[in-house]
Structure 1
């Protein structure tokens, strides 16, 4: 028996593939490679423990490859929150429509276990911080957040209608080696272009929770091993937060650029759909016996060093 990872050549997906192989699993990666990179899993491909099917989930021809799988880890998605406010259709197609197609393929082939990577943005501008999984009302402020919440609802319906089990993980900002987007990636790119000035979107006071990717993957496996309800929803994040200006300070320190001037674009929001304050309550997964070892500041420094090393 093997596992399937959609988006398995991407940032979190490739780290998940690493962990599954380390646990003795054979893995089928389905990835269009529009954002992921095959080099991230090249060693596993060479060993024969991992196969890759380069296909878009919105096309046909991949569905039968799921037959006989033990679990589908559905990570493939369009993660661009800012772009979703300008052109919503790709977010709808790559998140909601693709998830429906994965669920249908699972139903047809009798695959009962699904892991889905959701997001803290389903909570919108929560008034309770840290925000627990039972927080209401869920009012996303971005098309991206809305698409992930729609996927959660669809997955829940399939679980209760067709006897499936799901683990849905609402992530804080997951960062680390192989990341291709986010504030750290943006800052590194900007500072490589101009070492004298750094543009910071908003007022730099946006404060959020960050968690290093290896801790995230570890938490996913732990929650799966210790919860067996039809629908299992968990927040995954650190137990603290850090503001954007402090992230810039860490990057400038690591790049040895003490003379950099910050230029703020102004306003509490970095972009349309941004959530300026976010920290997730992780009491539910802590109740099972897992808790993060790293805080946001430590996670950011690890991710900054990985980005500067080209990882």
Structure 2
């Protein structure tokens, strides 16, 4: 089928595009290649996609409505995966307007473009950050997510609400995926695995927040992509079990779903660093620091709903995933 992937030069978008192309789909990529992190990494990902005969690309931002509309018109997609966004919890404290522009205004433009073209299915990136101040573990899609601790998290919760409105008013099938700490080859330089690897190899100390005692549901990129593809292929309809007298955030009487997509195996950060040290063959000098504003102590994905509906089953342990990341890093950034 024809799929428009926004954020196609990003970490998840690149891997998803490769997977869709490998199974014979036509992929139209859309990305602004901004400088939130080194654009050369985004360009290198894109350079691996562009030779494929079924891949086309347009450069632009979600908040640039004419550019986005032109991409929709050029690609005539049947389905859309919206992964473009301004990411990052900590950066949202420094530059909040970037999150409103991309994640709110930009997402509205995506919804409008899908609505006016009777799109078969819109899959979009939400985030585990929406659980915010929740302390009940594991996080389940049925839980309340009304206490975000960063504007980034608030923007992702807003995306879910906006998507539901369009599903309800216009019958647009939408599925939101709450991603949990994705890592792997071609990963983002602003995330811990990348930052730690770079500094350990350079002999520099690493900043370990919350003294390394928080846990994260680290999820390998291949498992994430498998879940996204399975979700894309399953167009939601109204939930026949939805009860408006006892509503759940996970589904609706509209063609709307929200799922967690994670590993369901949280790992303490200190343990993750140990595995990274083993793969690198070097010990890290740790600078133990308190929790940063906007961060949450723990994440743990309850993925039962996604497994039930799509057969999703993450299978990559961190020992294997981290090794693959380190092998890629050493090849891409030779000493």
What is the CA distance between 1:96 and its match in structure 2? 1.0
TM-score by length of 1: 0.92
| 1:44-100 deviations in Å (ceiling 9; x for gaps) | 322321111011222223303313210111000111210101221111111111100
More off after superposition, 124-133 vs 275-284: 124-133
- Give 1:270-281 correspondences, 5 Å limit: 271-281=292-302
* One of 121, 127, 133 as aligned partner of 2:135: 127
Provide the secondary structure at the position in 2 that maps to 1:52.
strand
Which residue is 1:19 aligned to? 19
What is the CA distance between 1:23 and its match in structure 2? 1.8
More off after superposition, 289-298 vs 97-106: 289-298
Which residue is 1:236 aligned to? 261
TM-score by length of 2: 0.85
Which residue is 2:247 aligned to? none
Give the root-mean-square deviation of aligned CA atoms. 1.9
Which residue is 2:81 aligned to? 73
Provide the secondary structure at the position in 2 that maps to 1:278.
coil
1:284 paired with 2:284, answer: no
Gaps in structure 2 of 5+ consecutive residues: 238-254
What is the CA distance between 1:20 and its match in structure 2? 0.9
State how far apart, in whole Å, the 2-side matches of 1:150 and 1:310 are. Answer: 37
Question: Matched residue pairs, number?
Answer: 306
Which residue is 1:250 aligned to? 275
1:159 paired with 2:167, answer: yes
* One of 226, 229, 254 as aligned partner of 1:221: 229
Which residue is 2:91 aligned to? 83
State how far apart, in whole Å, the 2-side matches of 1:4 and 1:284 are. Answer: 26
Gaps in structure 1 of 5+ consecutive residues: none
More off after superposition, 240-249 vs 32-41: 32-41
What is the CA distance between 1:302 and its match in structure 2? 3.3
1:207/1:243 contact within 8 Å kept = yes
State how far apart, in whole Å, the 1-side matches of 2:137 and 2:330 are. Answer: 32
1:14/1:41 contact within 8 Å kept = yes
| 1:217-252 deviations in Å (ceiling 9; x for gaps) | 101222343452211111111121111112222222
Which residue is 2:6 aligned to? 6
1:174 paired with 2:198, answer: no
